[in-house]
Amino acid sequence: MSEQKVKLIRHTPEPEKAVAAAAKLCYSDIGAMELEENLSDEDAGSFIAMLMNMGHMSPIEHAVFTFAIEGVSRALSHQLVRHRIASYSQQSQRYVTEDSFDYVIPPSINESPEALEIFSKALEAIQTAYNELRGILAPEFEKQLIAEGQTEKKAKDNAEKMANEDARFVLPNATETKLVFTMNARELLHFFGQRCCNRAQWEIRSLAEEMVVILKPIAPTIFKNAGPPCLRGACPEGSMSCGKQAQVALRYKMLDERL
């Protein structure tokens, strides 16, 4: 069973100063380099707060953040990559053999002995099927490639990748994956608005909330109100609202206390 891990591995140095200098440049007769030199953290924060209150969000796109995540499912990664204003690098199931794949267990299944038994048996059967498919396919691909003129070593290496490529079709959404992804601050706020919502899928919501905790100390003004829309006003989900705005607010108060 995989444990979700998230780490901020790179980000724009002094992101709020970079954003403030970029924004001030639009109204200044001096350059951004000189503007940044004269900016204090307090000045940068107050200027960004004013911009964001006015709805001027484009300057915060200059702050960029790169995360590494592990112990997440393919179900999560399929949701994550829907956020298109971002860059992604994901562990390949063609080049990495899943001969002993790890997986994510939903809490509802993990807490039910009956459900967990069904889930575990299904994953064991999938692992067996994957390994057997690779065992059948790799030798066949190797013979084919040798017949086409490849050396034995090259044919064997390529056949392994080809076998992985086709055997992976039996792997489940639960399969653990690893990613690196980069988003700018504006897209991150949009991501948090969608994925911190109580109606978001539990796994990606857990990831989003941990990212909020990581980012707030680094860019406190930009991410001051990061989270679901109901923290800032009425729930936009209408009749589909979870109806738990007070509980959500309490959860985010507790997250802030971790900082």
Active site residues: 195
Question: CA torsion angle for 208, 209, 213, 218 (degrees, to 10)?
Answer: 30
CA distance 26 to 46: 17
On whether the CB atoms of residues 103 and 1 are closer than 8 A, the answer is yes
Alpha carbon distance 228, 183 (integer Å): 18
d(CA 231, CA 16): 23
Give first-to-last CA distance, the chain, whole Å. Answer: 28
Contact assessment for residue 69 and residue 178, using Cβ atoms and an 8 Å cutoff? yes
Distance CA 159, CA 3 (A): 32
Look at the block and give the residue holding tokens 């609202």. Answer: 241
**E strands, the chain, in order:** 5-11, 64-73, 86-90, 176-184
- Taking CA atoms, 142 is separated from 84, 131, 190, in Å, by 38, 17, 47
CA angle 77, 189, 219 (to 5 degrees): 115
User: In sequence order, what are the beta bridge partners of 69?
Assistant: 6, 179
How far, in Å, CA of 113 to CA of 110, rounded?
Answer: 7
